[in-house]
Amino acid sequence: MTCMPQPKKLIVVIGTRPEAIKLAPVVIAIENSSWARCEVVLTGQHRDLVEPIMRHFNLKITHDLHVMQPNQSLAQVTARILEKIDILLSEYVPDAVLGQGDTASVLATSMACFFRNIPFAHVEAGLRTGNLRLPFPEEMNRVLTTRMTHWHFAPTEMARENLLREGIDPAAIWVTGNTVIDSLMMVVAQAGPELPSRAGRDFILITAHRRENLGNALENVCTAIAALAQNHPELDFIFPVHPNPGVRQAVNKHLLNIPNVLLIEPCDYPVFCWLMKNSRFILSDSGGVQEEAPALGKPVLVLRDETERPEAIAAGATRLVGTDTEAIIEAAQTLLLDAASYQRMATAGSPYGDGHAAQRIVETLCQSLCSG
């Protein structure tokens, strides 16, 4: 791909760990092209979790906005990102800006671009639950971002249909697959990392951190894990614990002293990919895990009442179980004791792409920005 006479100036904005994982292959594809140069902006939402991802993929942070302050509200962090992105846009004047997903970084960046009439590319566009409070605030973030987006890169046909129902021009939507599969394939092809597991023991992998699950819902999840661990001493239950104080308080209260529950710090991405690949199955409220695990043949019991990733549910690769203690136990027991049920989920396949989403995104941008 070429673009003459001068390379186009692109900005890629990253706030959280999932954004870093999903945008890394896009940044790499841009850097491997000849038609554009890329500035990577870190807002700082998940600094400690993002920086290892950047190092793993050998990506350089060009601008660091340092937006996080103790105990700030959603409104405050969004306003700080908006203000700092606006200053950067006014100084750098990019030809286009890219963001991913549904975070405060994405909402504020798309708004800053809209105010300055700079085209914004939304990676992973069109995800919807239909409930503006679930997940909160992510559903509202992505709905609002859609109205300010120039290029809608939908990961699936279902996401495209969501955008069409909202009146988005079909010519502005591209179904690319999900870039998380690009990253996953890059990582699992590499040598295995040093692992936080006990040799020879099967394990179930757990992640839980979403804002809407803090409080009673997370207490219920932890109670279910404690019961499952007691019922199955032959298994380990590996739980990388998110640094959010609300998460740690609930996890420590219920799971701290159970011998076969291994509470570990958040993993580097290669380690987490290994854990997914080698687990029996996964209990998670993560959006990314719902996309990644089916590609590895691992069932996911989704610890949420609603999901914006219904494709995996429809395929049978994931199952929505919510946060009721008994429902979690029942679903986990089914996978542990019913081989046919397990096999159906494990072989359902992935609806999220072939690992070439980033290249499709970059080619589309090149065709659009270089056509003149």
Whole-angstrom distance between the N-terminal and C-terminal Cα of the chain?
14
Q: Which one from 19, 39, 95, 124 is the annotated catalytic residue?
A: 124
Tell me if 145 sits within 8 A of 166, measured CB to CB: no
Q: Which one from 128, 209, 254, 309 is the annotated catalytic residue?
A: 209
| Alpha-carbon separation of residue 197 from 52, 235, 261, 340 (angstroms) | 20, 11, 11, 27
Q: ∠291-295-298 over CA atoms, to 5°?
A: 90
What 160-164 contacts at long range (C-beta under 8 Å, 24+ apart), as own/partner pairs, is: 160/126, 161/126, 162/126, 162/127, 162/128, 163/125, 163/126
201 is catalytic: no
291 is catalytic: no
166 is catalytic: no
Q: Which one from 56, 242, 304, 309 is the annotated catalytic residue?
A: 242
Residue with token string 């043949």: 297
Backbone torsions φ then ψ of 192, nearest 5 degrees: -65, 145
What 257-261 contacts at long range (C-beta under 8 Å, 24+ apart), as own/partner pairs, is: 258/226, 258/229, 258/230, 259/233, 260/229, 260/232, 260/233, 260/235, 260/236, 261/225, 261/226, 261/229, 261/236, 261/237
Task: Quickly list H helices, 126-214.
Answer: 138-147, 157-165, 179-188
Comparing CA positions, the residue from 147, 94, 153, 148 lying closest to residue 122 is: 153
Backbone torsions φ then ψ of 323, nearest 5 degrees: -125, 15
363 is catalytic: no
Backbone torsions φ then ψ of 134, nearest 5 degrees: -140, 115
Q: Which one from 19, 102, 219, 285 is the annotated catalytic residue?
A: 102
Tell me if 265 sits within 8 A of 241, measured CB to CB: yes
138 is catalytic: yes
308 is catalytic: no
What is the C-alpha separation between 330 and 332, in angstroms, rounded? Answer: 6
DSSP codes joined into one string, 56-71: HTT----EE-----TT
Catalytic positions, written as ranges: 102, 124, 138, 209, 211, 242
